[in-house]
A and B are shown apart, each in its own frame.
Chain A
Amino acid sequence: MRRTLILLVVLLGWSVTARAQGLYRITFKGNCSGADTNGHVFSQAVNNKTLIREFASRAGVSNVHNLDLVFHLNASPDGDAIEVINRKTGELVVTVFPISFPEVATAETPFGITERRFAYVYNIYDPGFSRGTTIINEHSVLNKNGQITRTVLDGDMQWYQLAAPDKSHPFRICTGKFNVHGRRLSFN
């Protein structure tokens, strides 16, 4: 695959203060399917709740009460990420999907920047190669000083997840859509 998972080290070392600049609440909806050991095909919904529960659990966190799913713009020099964070402190719990090595088509006007980008999707629990792709549309509104005042973003993702070693999750092929909404998150 295109690149190795050295970006994981970068993501884990990113400070809360620096990261808070690019965190946005996200709504994620999709579907995964696979076949069980008996050959029966299953289908399961994927959403904020299921991603938080699955990935927080794999990170050893059982209490998901104060957790949120966020889109982290420019999470690392390699790109963005979808993350589970503590919604009160902004502390990173686990990176669900590093979204890296984007290829970007850009439009600029005095009032905003629009991007449509392709990126590779990784999974820290299935390391080594990309495990999916996503196409993201992002529009940033600029004020008269050229500062970003608002960001609108949506994405379409397709990926697969290998069976978990403890067999808690089977092999699945998944598709999903997401959008960010609201203002950029900030934490004291």
Chain B
Amino acid sequence: MKHTIQIIGLLLGISLMPLCGDAQNLWLLKYQGTETTSNPQTNGKPKLVTQKITESTFVQRCANGADTSNLALVLHLNANELGDTLEVINTIDPNAFRCEVFKLAFQEKYTSGDGTLVKKFAYMYNDESGHSRGSAIITQRGTGASMKIDGKCQFWLGPENPTTPKVCAGTFTAVGPLDVP
């Protein structure tokens, strides 16, 4: 099996590495999506509850009650040898705060002959399990700082074998590259 649980050790090690490199690898994102789960009613029967999810939701979850000033959701291109990542970072100093939301790993992609179009299918991983939790299709048009990036995600959240998983879908668009000093 290609994506075994042994990757977790590698991924944890990679996650602890300081953030560095070309600022055009970090792209500020806007995210729009939904998260649906079952909640029990007073009669014991479950009902569906759908919550709107934005980039702010990811920031708040990562901050976990701490100050969210200067925190933003970013797409980190070529974050590691496995692929890209979705992260919440401090936009003033990315090394001061970094929370990995998803790895976008084991990508299958194609590139146009002139390099101006890259389309990727990526498996989404988070820290809840060693299995992929979903998929993302990411499209990159153009090159350099003017590149346009958008993506579409389908994933689920919750512990393994949950009674009430969260079924999630959303899209993201890069606002622009992060100008890191």
Interchain CB contact under 8 A, A128 and B113: no
Interchain CB contact under 8 A, B167 and A103: yes
Selected from B1, B46, B112, the residue in CB contact (under 8 A) with A39 is B112
Query: Which residues of A sit under 8 angstroms from B142, Cβ to Cβ?
Result: none
Selected from A38, A128, A130, A175, the residue in CB contact (under 8 A) with B132 is A130
* Residue B97 is within 8 A (CB to CB) of chain A in the complex: no
Interchain CB contact under 8 A, B167 and A135: yes
Q: A114-B48, A133-B154 are in contact. Are A41 and B132 (CB under 8 A)?
A: no
Interchain CB contact under 8 A, A107 and B46: yes
**Closest chain A residue to B114, Cβ basis:** A39
Interchain CB contact under 8 A, B110 and A135: no
Query: Which residues of A sit under 8 angstroms from B36, Cβ to Cβ?
Result: 105, 116
Interchain CB contact under 8 A, B108 and A160: yes
Selected from B48, B108, B121, B123, the residue in CB contact (under 8 A) with A107 is B48
Instruction: List which B1-48 residues lie within 8 A (CB) of chain A.
Output: 1-3, 36-38, 45-48
Q: Indicate with 1 or 0, residue by residue over A19-46, a CB within 8 angstroms of chain B CB atoms.
A: 0000000000000011100111100000
Query: Which residues of B sit under 8 angstroms from A175, Cβ to Cβ?
Result: 137, 152
Selected from B1, B38, B123, B154, the residue in CB contact (under 8 A) with A118 is B154
* Residue B65 is within 8 A (CB to CB) of chain A in the complex: no
Interchain CB contact under 8 A, B47 and A40: no
Instruction: List which A120-136 residues lie within 8 A (CB) of chain B.
Output: 128-130, 132-135
Q: A103-B156, A129-B3 are in contact. Are A40 and B112 (CB under 8 A)?
A: yes
Cα distance A41–B26 when bound, in Å?
Answer: 26
Cα distance A96–B3 when bound, in Å?
Answer: 23
> A interface, by DSSP: helix, strand, loop or mixed?
strand
Q: How many residues of B contact A (CB 8 A)?
A: 39
Instruction: List which B76-125 residues lie within 8 A (CB) of chain A.
Output: 108-114, 117, 119-121, 123
* Residue A156 is within 8 A (CB to CB) of chain B in the complex: yes
* Residue A167 is within 8 A (CB to CB) of chain B in the complex: no
Interchain CB contact under 8 A, B169 and A156: yes
Query: Which residues of B sit under 8 angstroms from A134, Cβ to Cβ?
Result: 154
**Closest chain A residue to B130, Cβ basis:** A2
Cα distance A41–B119 when bound, in Å?
Answer: 10
Most buried by B among A1, A38, A133: A133
* Residue A109 is within 8 A (CB to CB) of chain B in the complex: yes
Interchain CB contact under 8 A, A173 and B155: no
Query: Which residues of A sit under 8 angstroms from B114, Cβ to Cβ?
Result: 39
Cα distance A63–B48 when bound, in Å?
Answer: 44
Given contacts A35-B110, A173-B119, A175-B152, 15 further A-B contacts (CB under 8 A): A2-B131, A34-B110, A35-B111, A35-B113, A103-B156, A105-B37, A105-B38, A106-B38, A108-B45, A108-B47, A114-B48, A134-B154, A156-B154, A158-B137, A160-B121
The 10 A-B residue pairs whose C-beta atoms are closest, nearest first, are A39-B113, A103-B165, A107-B48, A118-B156, A35-B110, A2-B131, A103-B156, A133-B135, A160-B121, A108-B45
Could you write out 27 A-B pairs with CB less than 8 Å apart?
Answer: A1-B131, A33-B110, A33-B119, A35-B110, A35-B113, A39-B112, A39-B113, A41-B112, A103-B158, A103-B167, A104-B165, A105-B37, A105-B38, A105-B48, A105-B166, A106-B46, A106-B48, A116-B36, A118-B134, A118-B154, A118-B167, A133-B135, A133-B154, A135-B167, A160-B121, A173-B110, A175-B137
